[in-house]
Structure 1
Amino acid sequence: MSRNIKRLAAFLCLFLGCYTVLFPGAAHAETHPEAAFMGYWLSQGHDGVFKIDRCGDTVCGHLVGLQYDGTNVPHDKAGDTMCNLLMLTDFKASSDDAGRWNGKILDPDTGHIYQAQIWSPRQDVLKLRGYIGLPLFGETQTWTRYNGTLGPVCKMPH
């Protein structure tokens, strides 16, 4: 073996060894790939918090935190409270793109349901892409892990 190949092999062994020590949950993520999505997520505009969890054999998400004036909880187009509104539904692992999950997202302002994808490019970051027809015709948002508190009736602190 050439000296460069030996160096590369040594680097890879060192990297993989460090990776398993620094990220012990990686093995869990391989057997439960949806684990990267579970928990609370702050929307890109910092105006909503979503709780993503298992819903039967799929992954779903409820809107559990909102920015509002403290007296009037926002309502959707149908007039229902947006507190605990199920907005992300039927997410399943994509068969053709490792790491991406396909499902649906509700736009509470219009009542329309769009196709969507979620994926986690790195720890504590979630990408959500809503689209019509093909993912090419959509918009991607970046959400971050939420570790804050929520008040009564889905109230987010200012």
Structure 2
Amino acid sequence: MSILTPSKIAAALIPAAMLFATPALAADSIHGNWITQDRDAVVKISKCGATVCGRIHKYLVTPPNGVGQKDINNPDKKLRNRTLLGTAILTGFTPDGDIWRGKVYDPKTGKTYRSEVSLNSANSLKMKGCVAFLCQGQNWTRAK
């Protein structure tokens, strides 16, 4: 008969704890710099307070009005004078299993959509914007 000692209990619990920790580690891997599908910008996804957000970090294609491009299509007239570079276009993202849910702002149209983000692989991110049950997706590539 085997006696359960604290070290045997700990040895049995560590693999179980690692099994439950794996989804959290996988979910964190959305953090980093991502090149948009149109290859016109890099979006930096990182922690923003209690949630995760994505900001326009760098332009790969200069916008029509230069790097100082303003948020001219924003429905809030007070925000139309803000510079897009550095603006959070992904906001309020929280994990839900392998998917992160939040909102995405499209500065080209000035519209905000319900959004889902998930990893296709370590270097490929699926970003969806949704209205009701209709969603459109893009594949973003991790910047090196």
TM-score bracket, normalised by the shorter chain, equals 0.7 to 0.9
Query: Aligned to 1:49, which of 35, 42, 62?
Result: 42
- Equivalent position amino acid for 1:84 in 2: G
Question: What is the one-letter code of the residue matched to 1:90?
Answer: G
Aligned 8 A contact 2:91 2:102 in 1? yes
Residues in 2 aligned to 1:84 and 1:28: alpha-carbon distance in whole angstroms: 32
For 2:66 and 2:45, the matched residues in 1 are separated by: 25
Structure 2 unaligned residues grouped into runs of 5+:
1-18, 73-79
Give the conservation status (yes or no) of the 8 Å contact 2:98–2:118. yes
Shift of 1:71: 7.9
Equivalent-residue separation in structure 2 for 1:140 and 1:32 (angstroms)? 24
Q: Does 1:76 align with 2:71?
A: yes
1:38 partnered with 2:31? yes
Structure 1: give runs of 5+ residues left out of the alignment.
1-25, 148-158
Pairs within 5 Å for 1:85-124: 85-94=87-96, 98-124=97-123
Matched residue count: 117
**Alignment counterpart, residue 136 of structure 2, candidates 113, 134, 139:** 139
The alignment yields a C-alpha RMSD, in angstroms, of 2.3
**1:4 matched residue in structure 2:** none
CA distance in 1, matches of 2:29, 2:138: 17
- In the TM superposition, residue 36 of structure 1 has moved relative to its aligned partner by 1.3
Q: 1:29, 1:36 within 8 Å by CA — same for their partners in 2?
A: no
Taking structure 1 as the reference length, the TM-score comes to: 0.67
Q: CA deviation at 1:105?
A: 0.5
Offset from partner CA, 1:102-158 (integer Å, 9 cap, x none): 100111133221100000021111000001112xx12110000001xxxxxxxxxxx
**C-alpha spacing 1:71/1:113, structure 2 compared with 1 (3 Å):** closer
Greater percentage in strand: 2
TM-score, length basis structure 2: 0.73
Q: Percent identity at matched positions?
A: 29
